[in-house]
């Protein structure tokens, strides 16, 4: 299954953990709706990329909602916190603003499996452009598992830390049945020999439901099922 050709959208439970400003934050649990961008025969955007996020945990993020549609609403996202006075107030924010980026490594425009795969490929291409063959150890692990899903894992290791490499190890897990990238995890270099490397970022997509029949209402803040 090719994401670009076959997947119009999907819902999933995203579990993510990221280093932000050098600190590895707690796991975040997000119910996610993603609508992939679709182009018409002339190459123009017929259906814009859209993301809806409902945070199920941890407690300090629970019930937060975020919605963004590329190119709409002056390209701003709508968000509200889950509790307190801020939970009663929905605000429009620039996706890369300090408030929108608080506790997040990447802006909402990076969310989704297609974006994950594109960034993985771009990073690998850039690393290969700057590095030499001995800078890369590539290992393919068949029969790897992500929860109950059988996957093929591609692991890229940079044995020597060089200024142009961002990560020591990257692992991408492709679901053998759906061919979707359902897990990605990267590690920094260990502080010393024998010490486990620290996680930089990890994303796991669970309970993926492909092409569930989203309509415009799913990406409209006026949706009566949302609390904007």
pLDDT of 205: 98
Alpha-carbon distance 53 to 77, whole Å?
11
pLDDT of 61: 92
pLDDT of 84: 63
Alpha-carbon distance 153 to 174, whole Å?
6
pLDDT of 176: 96
pLDDT of 46: 87
For each of the chain's 228 residues, which pLDDT tens digit applies? 556 678 999 999 999 999 999 999 999 999 999 999 988 888 888 899 999 999 999 999 999 999 999 999 999 999 999 876 555 689 999 999 999 999 999 999 999 999 999 989 998 898 888 888 889 999 999 999 999 999 999 999 999 898 889 899 999 999 999 999 999 999 999 888 778 889 999 999 999 999 999 999 999 999 999 999
CB atoms within 10 A of CB 111: 23
pLDDT of 2: 53
pLDDT of 92: 95
pLDDT of 40: 85
What percent of the chain is helix, strand and coil (3-state, nearest 5)? 20, 40, 40
Alpha-carbon distance 104 to 121, whole Å?
22
Q: Coil, strand or helix: which one is 163?
A: coil
Asked if residues 11 and 33 have their Cβ atoms less than 8 Å apart, the reply is yes
Asked if residues 188 and 200 have their Cβ atoms less than 8 Å apart, the reply is yes
Asked if residues 92 and 75 have their Cβ atoms less than 8 Å apart, the reply is no
């Amino acid at each position: 299954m090719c994401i670009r050709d076959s997947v119009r959208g999907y819902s999933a439970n995203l579990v993510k953990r990221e280093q932000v400003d050098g600190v590895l934050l707690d796991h975040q649990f997000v119910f996610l709706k993603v609508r992939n961008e679709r182009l018409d025969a002339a190459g123009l955007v017929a259906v814009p990329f859209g993301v809806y996020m409902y945070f199920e945990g941890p407690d300090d993020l629970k019930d937060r909602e975020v919605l963004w549609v590329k190119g709409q609403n002056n390209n701003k996202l709508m968000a509200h916190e889950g509790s307190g006075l801020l939970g009663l107030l929905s605000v429009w924010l620039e996706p890369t603003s300090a408030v929108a980026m608080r506790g997040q490594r990447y802006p909402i425009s990076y969310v989704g499996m297609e974006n994950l795969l594109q960034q993985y490929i771009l990073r690998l291409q850039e690393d290969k452009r700057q590095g030499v063959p001995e800078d890369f150890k590539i290992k393919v692990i068949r029969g790897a598992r992500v929860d109950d899903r059988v996957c093929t894992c591609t692991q890229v290791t940079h044995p020597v830390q060089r200024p142009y490499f961002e990560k020591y190890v990257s692992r991408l897990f492709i679901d053998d049945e759906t061919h979707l990238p359902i897990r990605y995890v990267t590690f920094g270099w260990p502080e010393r020999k024998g010490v486990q490397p620290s996680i930089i970022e990890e994303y796991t997509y669970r309970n993926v439901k492909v092409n569930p029949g989203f309509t415009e209402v799913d990406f409209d803040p006026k949706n009566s099922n949302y609390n904007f």
